Chains A and B, each alone.
Chain A
């Protein structure tokens, strides 16, 4: 432990002017009696704050170290849980699971200790410990597969063949839809005109359907309008009085 003289010597070596007489004097002042009353004021404040919080300042700590206080005052597990959660402490650590009566007794008798019945349950018979490695593979039951590997292989192959066959059949039998516009563009105008002539349909190449003129002979018109009276025709052509005439 360093003495004040050592500290003074150190300072003299670093900054001698700081060791001058009076420099280290405390320049601040306080009201007289401040320190005499400080502890009383402090205890009063602690009591007031504790009263405001409704706790006993002598027995219960409060503030930032509540958690630390809990762990410091632990005496046993029940105290610990009571400090952390009174709800959990009230529940108690009861085991909700049950076993049939005599389960543990019968379980003990099933242990293979017939040759060494005087052994405690935690001891292993010498013969058993020696043969642990040799019996290791027999310790678990034989695993029996529900299906043999051969059957599974055939089943998988059959499924694959069925899927592939169905796919090929669909591709082979279903013809793709034909686009009529695409088909018509492949036909030449002359072929189209020949077809229309043969079918008695009048069509002039280069004129679309909206402006196509269909020629009717007078006989055709007469037949078409034979059942319509002149009065009805006049009503149908109100805007063309000058063209009025007798059709039938």
Chain B
């Protein structure tokens, strides 16, 4: 299969039983890294991220034949991935009978427990700062800062107006900067 195969071509191939698996494998290969890092930054732990990413692609496998193509495939994938992450955190909260803030502080502990963690390095400080943000601001900041997602696409992923997303990103960036400068 050619490297330059477009999403539309991949979707057409996916709908054919003879090329379904091959097309799906191409889609996974095309988007797995971007989705993985998006999930990893939200969940921190690799095992949780791996399980969640598998669940994301299982959902994609089940629902891709219904994909309407009125949105870009990668927007749709990000939306599924984000929802899966939020569901994972919600389930974790329910299982442990703790509040969301306790789950978030657990994520901070996981960051600090990472084998490569170095509190002196800016990139680690940034990760700690991101975990201090409210959930919505955290997702908006990560999609914009790391994935460089346009607001237009982000509004489709998060079903939020572009104006609200811009405001969220602004607040998030200011809070993170304050955190980094004061820690």
Contacts and interface: CB of A to CB of B under 8 A. Distances in A.
A11 to B, nearest CB: 6
Contact of A15 (B24, B33, B61, B174): B174
Interface string B22-37: 0011001100110011
Interface stretch (A63-71, A121-129, A227-235, A238-246): A63-71
B163 interface: no
Contacts of B150: 1-2
B46 to A, nearest CB: 6
The size bracket of the interface on B is 35 or more
Contacts of B53: 38
B25 A43 contact: yes
Contact of A58 (B21, B63, B124): B21
Given A29-B116, A46-B58, A68-B66, A39 B126 contact: no
Contact of B59 (A1, A11, A27, A63): A63
B75 interface: no
Interface in B7-28: 17, 20-21, 24-25, 28
A28 interface: yes
Interface stretch (B82-90, B93-101, B175-183): B175-183
A142 interface: no
Contacts of B122: 20, 22-23
Contacts of B36: 30, 35, 38
Nearest to B114: A28
A38 B39 CA distance: 15
Contacts of B148: 2, 4, 7
A14 B59 contact: no
Contact of B173 (A15, A22, A42, A72): A15
Nearest to B124: A27
Contacts of A22: 121-123
A134 interface: no
Given A38-B28, A61-B62, A25 B123 contact: yes
Q: Secondary structure at chain B's binding surface: helix, strand, loop or mixed?
A: helix
B65 interface: yes
B20 A58 contact: yes
A27 B32 contact: no
Interface string B97-122: 00000000000000000101100011
A20 B173 CA distance: 13
A62 B127 CA distance: 38
Contact of A24 (B61, B124, B145, B174): B145
Contacts of B24: 43
Contacts of B136: none
B92 interface: no
A175 interface: no
A18 interface: yes
A154 to B, nearest CB: 76
Contact of A69 (B28, B65, B114, B116): B65
Contacts of B32: 35, 38-39
16 contacts: A1-B150, A1-B152, A4-B148, A11-B145, A15-B176, A17-B180, A18-B177, A20-B122, A22-B123, A28-B44, A28-B116, A30-B36, A39-B28, A42-B54, A46-B61, A69-B65
Task: Give 5 nearest A-B pairs by CB, closest first.
Answer: A15-B177, A63-B62, A39-B28, A15-B173, A23-B122
